[in-house]
Amino acid sequence: MLKFSGSSVVAALLIAVVFGAFFFCEYLIYFPTILKCAWPKLSRARGGEGTDGRPADAAVRAMVLSDTHLLGAVGGHWFDKLRREWQMERAFQTALWLLKPEIVFILGDIFDEGKWSSQKHWEDDVRRFHRMFRHSSDTELVVLVGNHDIGFHYEMDWFKLQRFEKVFNASSTRIVTKRGVNFLLVNSVALHGDGCPICQSVEKDLIKLSRDLNCSLQKSQSDGEETENCEGSQSYPPTAPIMLQHYPLYRVSDASCTGQDAAPPEERHLLFREKYDVLSKDASQRLLQWFKPRLILSGHTHSGCEVLHDNKYPEISVPSFSWRNRNNPSFILASVSPGGHSLSKCFLPEESTVIGVYCSAGAGLLLLLLAQCLWMKGLLQLSLCLLGKHKSL
């Protein structure tokens, strides 16, 4: 029969506590948290059955996240980089495995230092991104451009923009169509309206896309007949688009934003700067007039918010996906059909919870070590006492 000494039992307990805390905080914690999330259902009242007659369960399942901010070579401490990237990788891979989205959108600021990184550092950042956000062929990954990827308006140039577009094999302004749903991707960094070459190119693309979408709607309403002004236009499904971009549309502040992922109370009343924190009033109105989107999804502020523009255009600001930017990152789950959409929010484990578990494990280790010391001390005293009695005999 095996016999275990007190010291071996304590050692086993120490190993169990250390391994258990590490395994839970670095692997298991993502599963129960993300298992609470579910794809929202489309009701007929909200357009669950689209213009093509598909039922609600045929909706496109889209996962939307933002502002991953992969740290670069200049400002990223090696441990901070290792920690944040591991957290995002585990959260993303767990979400893919449990939720199985058809398409994933990342709303810009993929990298933290894309605006100034050298080619060597850029290639390293891209390699790490593809490792972290790897996915099967069943899931399509669509990435939008943000100010940290190519620089603010005064920093961006053709080299940075084309470098970004080459990596993700797509134009930064385009329409992605999925089963009758139009997702409009906007390069919002180039919407300053000052006539810069990139700005002119992006606005030209947007005007063309607006014409194509409007012509597709007109054609569907006129029994397939092409109107005079629509000759040569590209056809899209005749539904209002869901507009995705990095910068939010113009709003004064986050004062009206509520919820556990909203900006801290002391920051909500800070006024936003046009063309820096949000798009300008003019650019925002032009986008709304050109596309009349049924939903706008944006990032950039790192906090959640819901806004209704002109009393008919809802916008959702998606919080940052990185624990470096907030204690409770989250992402959006969207069920979308040609005739409707429904959203839900999925929160990731709070970093304070992880720290709490490690602190509790540390306290447990100290108690076990203290118990071991007291046990060894008692054993030593008992041995000395027995030795003294033996000498007296």
Give the per-residue pLDDT at 58. 80
Task: Give the residue-averaged pLDDT of 269-291.
Answer: 95
- In a 13 Å sphere around the CA of 294, the CA atoms on its Cβ side amount to 18
* Helix boundaries (H) for 232-350: 281-291
Most confident segment among 4-18, 34-48, 221-235, 302-316: 302-316
Identify which of 24, 105, 97 has the alpha carbon closest to the alpha carbon of residue 63.
105
> Angle at CA 125, nearest 5°, toward 105 and 102?
20
Residue 5: which pLDDT band, with cuts at 50, 70 and 90?
low
Name the residue with tokens 């939903």: 295
Beta bridge partners of 309: 313
What Cα–Cα distance (Å) separates residue 92 from each residue in 87, 104, 123, 141, 354?
A: 9, 10, 21, 12, 17
- Residue 282: per-residue pLDDT: 95
pLDDT at 392: 56
Can you say how many angstroms the Cα of residue 71 is from the centroid of all Cα atoms in its chain?
Answer: 15
Please enumerate in sequence order all residues whose Cβ is within 8 A of that of 342, keeping only pairs 6 or more positions apart, or say none: 40, 41, 42, 43, 46, 59, 334, 335
Q: What string of DSSP letters covers 95-131? A: HHHHH--SEEEE-S--BSSTTT--HHHHHHHHHHHHH
Tell me the pLDDT tens digit for each residue of 82-103: 888 999 999 999 999 999 999 9
Residue 384, pLDDT > 50, answer: yes
E strands in 187-304: 242-245, 295-298
pLDDT above 60 (res 129): yes
Whether residue 386 is predicted with pLDDT greater than 70 in this model: the reply is: no
pLDDT in tens, 284-334: 999 999 999 999 999 999 999 999 999 999 999 999 999 999 999 999 999
Q: Per-residue confidence at 390, pLDDT binned at 50, 70, 90?
A: low
pTM of the model: 0.88
pLDDT at 160 over 90: yes
CA 264 to chain centre: 19
Does 49 have pLDDT greater than 50?
Answer: no
pLDDT of 46 over the 60 cut: no
Query: Per-residue pLDDT tens for 134-159?
Result: 999 999 999 999 999 999 988 899 99
Q: What is the pLDDT of residue 365?
A: 76
- Distance between CA atoms of residues 181 and 353, nearest Å: 38
The region of weakest confidence among 14-18, 45-49, 208-212 is 45-49
Which candidate, 257, 315, 252, places its Cα nearest to that of 281?
252
Angstrom distance (rounded) from CA 231 to CA 224: 13
Asked if 290 and 207 count as a contact pair (C-beta separation under 8 A), the reply is yes
Domains of the chain with CATH codes: 57-219+234-349 (3.60.21.10)
